[in-house]
Amino acid sequence: MEISISGRGLLCTFWKPLPLQLLRVMKLTAILLTLVCIHVSARSYEQTVSFSGKNVPLTAVFTSIEKQTGVSFFFNYALLKGTRPVTLEVRNQTIDIVLEHVLTGQGLSYYKEGKTIFILKKQEASGTAYTSDGGTTTRQIDVKGQVLNHERLPLDGATIIVKHTTKGAVTDGKGMFEIKNVPVDGVLEISYTGYQHKEVPLEGRETVSVELALANTSLDETEVIAYGTTTQRFSTSDITTVKAETIEKQPVDNPLLALEGRVPGLFIQQNSGVSGSGLSILIQGQNSITSGNDPFYVVDGVPFNSQLLPNLGGSILGYSRTGTGAFSQPGNPFSFINPADIESIAVLKGADATAIYGSRAANGAILITTKKGRAGEAKIELNLQNGWGQIDRKLDVLNLKQYLQMRHEALKNDAIITPPATSYDINGFWDSTRSTDWQKTLIGNTAEYTNLYGSISGGTTLTQYLIGATYHRETSVFPGSFADQKGDIHFNLNTSSVNQRFKVQLQGSYLADRNVLPPVDITPQAVQTAPDAPKLYNPDGSLNWAPNATGTSSWANPLASLLRTYTANSNNLVSNAILSYQLIPGLEIRSSFGYNILGSKEISQVPLTYYAPETRSSRVNTANYTNNSSNSWIVEPQISYKRILGQGRVEFLAGGTIQQGTANGLWLSGSGYSSDAELSNIQAASSVTVTSFTNSTYRYNAGFARLTYNLREKYIVNLTGRRDGSSRFGAKNEFHGFAAIGGAWIFSNETFIKNHFKALSFGKLRSSYGTTGNDQIGDYTFLNLYGSDNPGIPYQGIVGLTPLGLSNPYLQWEETKKLEFGLDLSFWKDRLSVSGNYFRNRSSNEILAYSLPIITGFSFINRNFPATVQNSGWELTLNSVNIASKAFSWSSGINITIPRNKLLAFPNLANSSYANLLIVGRSISIIKKYHFLGVNPINGEYQFGDFHGTPTYTPASTDMTAVIDPTPNYYGGLENTFGFKGFTLKFLFQFMKRIGLDDYFGVTDPGFTGYNQPNSVLNRWHRPGDITTIQRFNSNGSIGSQIGRVTGSDAAYKDASFVRLKNISLTWQLPPNWQKWAGFQNTNIFVHAQNLLTFTRYVGIDPETLSSTNLPPLRILTFGLQTTF
Partner 1 sequence: MIVKNIYFFRSKVAQWIKLAIIVIGFIFSCRKFVQLQVPISNVNVGNVCSSDVTAVVAITDMADVISRWLKLTTAMITLVFIFSCQKYVQVPAPISSINVGNVYSNDPTAIAAITDIYSQMSSGTLVLASGQNSLSYFAGLAADELTLYSGVTVSAAAYLYYTNALTNVSGVDFWNSLYPAIFSINSAIEGISGSTSLTPAIRQQLLGEAFFLRALCYFYLVNLYGDVPLVTGTDYAVNSLLARSPQATVWKQIIGDLQNAKALLSGNFLDKSLLKTSTSRLRPTKYTASALLARTYLYTADWSDAKMQADSLINNNAPFTLSLVSNLNNVFLANSNEAIWQLQPVSAGIPNTLDAYYFILPSTGPNGTNNSYLSTSLLNSFENGDQRRIDWVDSAIAGGTTYYYPYKYKVNATGSSTLTTEYTMVFRLSEQYLIRAEAEANGAGNGISSAISDLNVIRNRAGLAAYSGGTDQASVLAAILHERQVELFTEWGHRWLDLKRSGTINTVMAPVCNTIKGGNWSSNWQYFPIPLTDLQADPNLAQNSGY
472-511 binders of partner 1 (CB under 8 A): 497, 499, 501-502
Measured from the CB atom, the residue of 735 and 757 that comes closer to partner 1 is 735
Told to check if 654 binds partner 1 by CB under 8 A, we report yes
**Is 377 within 8 Å of 462 (Cβ atoms)?**
no
Backbone angles phi, psi at 139, to 5 degrees: -70, 145
Residue pair 474/502 in contact by the 8 Å Cβ criterion: no
Query: Which of 311, 495, 727, 1057 is in the footprint of partner 1 by CB under 8 A?
Result: 727
The window from 43-51, 377-385, 478-486, 636-644 that contacts partner 1 (CB under 8 A) reads 636-644
Smallest CA-to-CA distance from 1121 within 381, 252, 475 is with: 381
For partner 1, which is the closer residue by CB, 856 or 882?
Answer: 856
CA 1024 to chain centre: 57
Q: Which of 38, 48, 56, 73 binds partner 1 (CB under 8 A)?
A: 73
236-255: contacts with partner 1 (CB under 8 A): none
Query: Per CB under 8 A, which region of 25-33, 235-243, 569-577, 1007-1015 contacts partner 1?
Result: 25-33
- The CA distance from 883 to 866, in Å, is 54
The dihedral formed by the CA atoms of 417, 422, 424 and 428, expressed in degrees to the nearest 10: 50
Residue nearer to partner 1 on the CB measure, 273 or 725:
725
Dist CA 267 CA 1102 (whole Å): 17
- Residue 1044's SS3 state is helix
Applying CB under 8 A, which part among 226-234, 508-516, 791-799, 1050-1058 lies near partner 1?
791-799
* 417: contact with partner 1 by CB under 8 A: no
Binding of partner 1 at residue 784 (CB under 8 A)?
yes
Scanning 370-378, 648-656, 1053-1061, 1084-1092 for contacts with partner 1 by CB under 8 A, the matching segment is: 648-656
Q: Which residues contact 595 (CB under 8 A, 6 or more apart)?
A: 302, 573, 575, 576, 631, 632, 633, 634
Rounded to a whole number of angstroms, the minimum distance from the CB of residue 174 to partner 1 is: 13
Q: Give the pairing type, strands 48-56 and 86-94.
A: antiparallel
Single out the residue of 12, 417, 549, 887 in contact with partner 1 (rule: CB under 8 A): 12
For residues 675 and 859, which CB has a smaller minimum distance to partner 1 in the complex? 859
Give residues 807-836 in contact with partner 1 (rule: CB under 8 A).
807
Q: According to the binding rule CB under 8 A, does residue 78 interact with partner 1?
A: no
What's the CA gap between 1020 and 1032, in Å, rounded?
6
**CB neighbour burial string for 76-115, b if at least 16 within 10 angstroms, e if fewer:** beebeeebeebebebeebebeebbeebbeebebbbbebbb
Q: Per rule CB under 8 A, is residue 908 in the interface with partner 1?
A: no
CB of 689 to partner 1, least distance (A): 10
Residue among 841, 874, 870 nearest 771 (CA)? 841
Using CB under 8 A as the binding rule, whether residue 677 contacts partner 1 is answered as: no
User: What is the distance between the alpha carbons of residues 103 and 112, in angstroms, rounded to a whole number?
Assistant: 14
Tell whether residue 27 is a contact of partner 1 (CB under 8 A): yes
Q: Which stretch binds partner 1 (CB under 8 A): 105-113, 671-679, 751-759, 794-802?
A: 794-802
- 265 vs 896: CA distance, rounded Å: 8
- Residue 694 engages partner 1 in binding (rule: CB under 8 A): yes
Give CA separation, 380 vs 126, 465, 565, in Å: 51, 12, 39
Residue closer to partner 1 by CB (options 617, 911) is: 911
Single out the segment in contact with partner 1 by CB under 8 A; choices: 170-178, 262-270, 319-327, 585-593. 585-593
What is the three-class DSSP state of 704?
A: strand
Quick check: 187 and 198 in contact, CB under 8 A? no
Q: Which of residues 732-771 bind partner 1 (CB under 8 A)?
A: 734-735
For partner 1, the binding residue among 97, 731, 759, 938 (CB under 8 A) is 731
**CA atoms of 296 and 305, how far apart (whole Å):** 8
CB 875 within 8 A of CB 839: yes
In the complex, what is the shortest distance from the CB of residue 723 to partner 1, in angstroms, rounded to a whole number?
5
Q: From residue 703 to residue 722, what is the string marking binding to partner 1 with x (rule CB under 8 A)?
A: xxx-----------------
Give whichever of 479 and 730 is closer to partner 1, judged by the CB atom.
730
In the bound complex, what is the minimum distance in angstroms from residue 299's beta carbon to partner 1?
Answer: 21
Piece of the chain touching partner 1 by CB under 8 A; list 14-22, 211-219, 925-933, 1099-1107: 14-22
Q: Go through the chain and tell me how many residues it has.
A: 1125
Q: Is 858 among the residues that bind partner 1 (CB under 8 A)? A: yes
Nearest CB to partner 1, comparing residues 910 and 1027: 910
The yes or no reply on residue 172 touching partner 1 (CB under 8 A) is no
Answer yes or no: are the C-beta atoms of 342 and 368 closer than 8 Å.
Answer: yes
Candidates 59-67, 369-377, 533-541, 994-1002: pick the segment binding partner 1 (CB under 8 A). 59-67
Binder among 243, 699, 922, 928 for partner 1 (CB under 8 A): 699
853 is a contact residue toward partner 1 (CB under 8 A): yes
701 binds partner 1, rule: CB under 8 A: yes
Q: Does residue 789 interact with partner 1 by CB under 8 A?
A: yes
Give the shortest CB-760-to-partner 1 separation in angstroms.
Answer: 37
Find the part of the chain contacting partner 1 (CB under 8 A) among 43-51, 422-430, 700-708, 745-753.
700-708
Which of 412, 643, 714, 993 forms a contact with partner 1 (CB under 8 A)? 643
**Site for partner 1 (CB under 8 A): which residue of 779, 824, 959, 1005?**
779
**Enclosing H/E stretch for 1077:** helix 1072-1078
Determine the distance from the C-alpha atom of residue 555 to the mean position of all C-alpha atoms in its chain, rounded to a whole number.
45
Give the residue, chosen from 125, 415, 549, 798, that forms a contact with partner 1 under the rule CB under 8 A: 798
Q: Which residues share a beta bridge with 493? A: 465, 506
Are the C-beta atoms of residues 384 and 469 closer than 8 Å to each other? no
Rounded least distance, CB 802 to partner 1, Å: 5
Cβ-Cβ contacts under 8 Å for 260 (sequence gap 6 or more): 268, 270, 973, 990, 1062
DSSP code per residue over 733-767: SSEEEEEEEEEEE-GGGSHHHHHH-TTEEEEEEEE
Strands 140-148 and 207-211: parallel
Of the candidate residues 512, 577, 583, 688, the single one contacting partner 1 (CB under 8 A) = 583
In this structure, the number of other CB atoms found within 10 A of the CB of residue 883 comes to 12
Question: Taking CB under 8 A as the rule, does residue 81 contact partner 1?
Answer: no
Q: Name which of 672, 676, 663, 670 is nearest 691 in CA terms.
A: 670
Q: Report the nearest approach of partner 1 to the CB of residue 721 (Å).
A: 9
| Least distance to partner 1, CB of residue 644, Å | 12
Q: Which of 415, 549, 855, 1027 binds partner 1 (CB under 8 A)?
A: 855
Residue 857 touching partner 1 (CB under 8 A): yes
CB of 580 to partner 1, least distance (A): 9
Euclidean distance between CA atoms 346 and 263, whole angstroms: 9
Please, what is the angle between helix 95-103 and helix 58-69, to 10°? 170
If binding means CB under 8 A, how many residues of this protein chain bind partner 1? 102
- R_g (Cα) of the chain, nearest Å: 35
Could you give the C-alpha distances from 682 to 312, 387, 513, 606, 688, in angstroms and in order? 16, 38, 22, 13, 8
Minimal distance, residue 919 CB to partner 1, in Å: 19
Query: Please, what is the minimum distance in Å from the beta carbon of residue 634 to partner 1?
Result: 11
Minimum Å gap between C-beta 1 and partner 1 is: 8
Contacting partner 1 (CB under 8 A), which of 111, 510, 595, 641? 641
**Residue 791 sits in the site that holds partner 1 (CB under 8 A):** yes
Q: Does 794 bind partner 1 (CB under 8 A)?
A: yes
Contacts of 905 (CB under 8 A, 6+ apart): 866, 867, 868, 920
Give the whole-angstrom CA distance, residue 222 versus residue 241: 9
